Amino acid sequence: MMVDEFYRDADPILCQGDIIREIPHVNLKPPLPLTVIRKEHVKYGNGIKFAPYEYGLSAPKDGFHFDQGEQVLASCQVAFGMVLSHGCEIDKDPRYRMIALIRPLSVAPPEGQEIIRANNNLSSCYLPAYDEIMGESYVDFRRITTLHPDFLRDAERIVSLTDDAVKYVQAQFFRYFTRLDVRPDALDQLPKLP
């Protein structure tokens, strides 16, 4: 697929395949234990402090509330991201957006770059350069973050993918999860869900 067939001007509304600049990509990783961060009032005065609780080692007085959600300490990388959420999810779900990390191809070793360009690395999806804004890159399907839409509201959307390019990314994503080979045009043969 040629570059001019891959990208189009960003849609007026957020859609699957949009590429966005400076998106937070969150990752829980060692050596830190799972650490819950709680706002607590200080004993004297009106101040608030942040108190860390290491899961399994310490706990707040009222215990943990993971069933409701807890704020945790995590690693965060700010980089380009691609919207993976389907358009109907974007329209109907006001809480969640799935965003995949986009990495510059230049950080991969030369032999790895050719493997990624040929889409022979199942965990990645090659993206051609876009103008002067984004060099050759790849979507890293191992790094998908769920964000609240507020993180995207004022974010700079760089470009949208064409319909054919969205199918290309969907096919690569399908290959990553299933380890089954599928061509983008084969997606058109599958029955559409309501």
In a shared domain, residues 38 and 115: no
Rg (the chain; Cα; Å): 20
Looking at the structure, tell me whether residues 65 and 81 fall in a common domain: no
Q: Range of 9's domain?
A: 3-27+77-189
Q: DSSP secondary-structure letter at 9? A: P
Is position 92 within any domain?
A: yes
Give the number of other CB atoms < 10 A from CB of residue 166: 19
Same domain, 119 and 148: yes
In a domain, 194, yes or no: no
Question: Tell me: the pLDDT tens digits for 55-89?
Answer: 989 888 899 999 999 999 999 999 999 999 998 89
Distance CA 95, CA 64 (A): 23
Q: Does residue 19 sit in the same domain as residue 40? A: no
- Domain boundary at 38, 73, 108, which? 73
Number of separate domains in the chain: 2
Q: What is the pLDDT of residues 96-148, one digit of tens each?
A: 999 999 999 999 999 999 999 999 999 999 999 998 999 999 999 999 999 99
